[in-house]
Amino acid sequence: MTEDQEEISAGGIIQTPKGVHDILPVDHEYHTFIKKVVRHRLRQAGFRRISTPIFEFTELFQRGIGADTDIVSKEMYTFQDKKGRSLTLKPESTAGVCRAYIQNGMANLPQPVQLYYIEPHFRYDRPQKGRYRQFCHFGFEIIGESDAALDSQTIYLANLINKDLGIADLFTIQLNSIGTPQSRKEYAKVLTDFYFDKERSLCEQCKARLKTNPMRLLDCKEESCGILAQIAPKMADYLDEESKVFHADLKEYLDELGIKYVENPNLVRGLDYYTKTVFEFWDSAEGAQNAIGGGGRYDGLVELLGGGPTPAVGYAAGIERIIANMKREKIRVPHKDVIHIFVAQLGKEAKKKCLSLIADLREAGVKTMGALGKDSIKTHLRLADKFGAPYTIIMGLTEVREKVGIIRDMKVGTQKTVPYEKIVPEVIKLIGKENLDKYSAGELLYG
Ligand code: AMP
């Protein structure tokens, strides 16, 4: 067996590819809760949801994110379709959202256009804790206006969502300005000069980055590179006047909002499209290794993709890492995946009656399960217990003949016989109207 085959199948059982995983029902409880919080906070702030395709032309990311970035040069799932076009599974969504903004004429809408997304993304990363090859980002973008107040709103909203999720205190907001592309160009020259005679102390990756993207040397995780980064010239000393004023304004607004941040002159973010503001939420204990989200201003991206000059700012966070932090903090999320009632039956006649009873109960909003494939009241009661159903309806031949059903309180063990047509209202009374799972005005209340 080759190594590849071994990876595909362990003991004859097909496995998931490396770095991807199933989202099992227990984790979906978290996913659903996080989506609800994100939707709620962003809706309150006037954002609307967008989904861009899972794959796009590779050129979108090459042009948008930058060909020399880690994501584009190493981490993309790129393939050719049957006509030889180069396509890529999206590694992030900002480039796609900007493409959608241009392609759908959103520049004609009232500005800024505020969009959010909750989507899977794909990166050929080395799988490790908190780093997967398919992961879920939620993110939001404010496109079409430039003001430091919008950057402060972005950071405020990201922090508010973290607060709602119960994890805000675990993270510090790292903040920096990387200026305009022009001032960055000049700074890159200064950095290249600084590293000129120090190349031997750099890791192999940074040696290569020095030629393509010297600012990335500042956030390298290797110890020797980190030591040099500490004494390297700082971007703040080379910022253009406009960026300086913008950054000072942003800090003033954050102070006004009571948002605490740490100024981090070495924060550059890994994507080429950022201008001025960059920020990340770092784990207070583990630092950048376990960042849960980051963002910044990207005033040049829409233009780079063929649109008109359009300033923008945004944020994205990794849902898997958020969940890992919530679990570590033992944060439990409310969920509605509980059943109200179990229907137990014996014999074909009773089963027939139960089919319509189950449908009626569900229609009324009662979450109902029945073991229709099995024929033993004892087995059914045991199952009802295992599923945690507070009540069970029992129907046998006698009940069918007498047009009644037995409702059993599973906790207390008491039973009462109810006429068939009174079963649904009686069950609703028992579980409480407010607990029903019903559609309201066409919208599912839970989901
Ligand atoms: P980025 O824009 O690359 O900084 O990504 C934003 C957030 O997405 C990060 O802070 C992580 O929480 C999450 N993230 C990025 N890459 C991965 C990955 N490979 N697996 C899981 N989460 C990731």
Q: Give me the helices (H) in 165-264, please.
A: 181-195, 204-212, 223-231, 241-256
Residues 64 and 147 in one domain: yes
Residue pLDDT, tens place only, 8-54: 777 889 999 999 999 999 999 999 999 999 999 999 999 999 999 99
C-beta 282 within 6 A of ligand 1: no
Pick from 174, 167, 61, 73: which is nearest to 121 by CA?
61
E strand spans, 7-106: 9-10, 13-14, 48-49, 55-57, 78-80, 86-89
How many distinct structural domains can be found in the chain?
2
Establish if 59 belongs to a structural domain. Answer: yes
Instruction: State if residue 423 touches ligand 1 by the CB under 6 angstroms criterion.
Output: no
Atom of ligand 1 nearest to the CA of 281: 10
Beta carbon of 99 within 6 Å of any ligand 1 atom: no
Dist CA 380 CA 251 (whole Å): 63
* Atom 21 of ligand 1, residue of closest alpha carbon: 131
Answer whether 139's CB lies under 8 Å from 317's CB.
yes
Q: What is the CATH number of the domain that holds 33?
A: 3.30.930.10
CATH number at residue 400: 3.40.50.800
Ligand 1, atom 8: closest residue by C-alpha: 318
Q: Tell me: do 287 and 314 sit in the same domain.
A: yes
Q: How confident is the model at residue 4 (pLDDT cuts 50, 70, 90)?
A: low
Which of 75, 320, 322, 326 has most ligand 1 atoms within 8 Å of CB, for mutation? 320
In a shared domain, residues 7 and 51: yes
Q: What is the mean pLDDT of residues 335-357?
A: 91
368 inside domain: yes
Same domain, 255 and 389: no
pLDDT value of position 6? 63
Question: What is the DSSP-derived secondary structure letter of residue 169?
Answer: G
- 310 and 356 belong to one structural domain: no
Whether the CB-CB separation of 342 and 384 falls below 8 Å is answered with yes
Question: Which of 328, 362, 377 delimits the end of a domain?
Answer: 328
Please tell me the distance between residue 308's alpha carbon and the centre of ligand 1 in angstroms. 29
* 316 strand-pairing partners: 139, 294
- C-alpha of residue 359 to centroid of ligand 1, in Å: 44
- Specify the long-range contacts of residues 405-413, CB closer than 8 Å, at least 24 apart: 405/357, 408/381, 410/381, 410/384, 410/385
Least confident of 3-12, 131-140, 327-336: 3-12
**Boundary (domain end) residue, out of 277, 296, 328:** 328
Which atom of ligand 1 approaches the CA of 319 most closely? 12
Close Cβ partners of 220 (under 8 Å, ≥ 6 residues apart):
203, 205, 206, 209, 226, 229
263, 367: one domain: no
Q: Which domain holds residue 62?
A: 3-180+240-328
Reading the block at residue 293, the tokens are 């989200």
The verdict on 246 and 363 lying in the same domain is no
| pLDDT at 444 (0 to 100) | 46
pTM score, whole prediction: 0.90
- Which helix (H) or strand (E) is 279 found in, with range? strand 275-283
What is the per-residue pLDDT for 170?
96
pLDDT at residue 1 in the model: 58
Q: Is 281 in the pocket of ligand 1 (CB under 6 A)?
A: no
311 and 346 in one domain? Answer: no
Ligand 1: centre distance to CA 169 (Å): 19
Q: Yes or no: say if 66 and 273 are a contact pair by the CB < 8 Å rule.
A: yes
322 lines ligand 1 (CB under 6 A): no
Q: What percentage of the chain exceeds 90 in pLDDT?
A: 75
Same-domain pairing of 26 and 171:
yes
Of 300, 328, 356, which residue sits at a domain end? 328
Pocket residue to mutate for ligand 1, from 21, 76, 93, 137, most atoms within 8 A of Cβ: 137
Cβ of residue 317 lying under 6 Å from some atom of ligand 1:
yes
Residue 224 lies in a domain: no
User: How does pLDDT run across 307-337, given as a tens digit for each residue?
Assistant: 999 999 999 999 999 999 999 999 999 888 8
Least confident of 39-48, 88-97, 116-125, 278-287: 278-287
Does the pLDDT at position 446 exceed 50?
no
Of the candidate ranges 106-110, 188-192, 233-237, 373-377, the one whose mean pLDDT is the lowest: 373-377
Q: Which of 309, 278, 274 is nearest to 291 (CA)?
A: 278
Give me ligand 1 centre to Cα 133, in Å: 10
Domain check: are 9 and 103 in the same one?
Answer: yes
Amino acid identity for residue 227 in this structure: I
What average pLDDT does the structure give for the chain?
Answer: 92
Q: Is residue 64 part of a domain?
A: yes
Q: How far is the CA of 408 from the centre of ligand 1 (A)?
A: 49
User: Which helix (H) or strand (E) is 341 found in, with range?
Assistant: strand 341-345
**Same domain, residue pair 263 and 400:** no
Mark whether 260 and 350 lie in a shared domain: no
**For ligand 1, is residue 361 a contact (CB within 6 Å)?**
no
Rounded Cα distance between 332 and 326, Å, is: 8
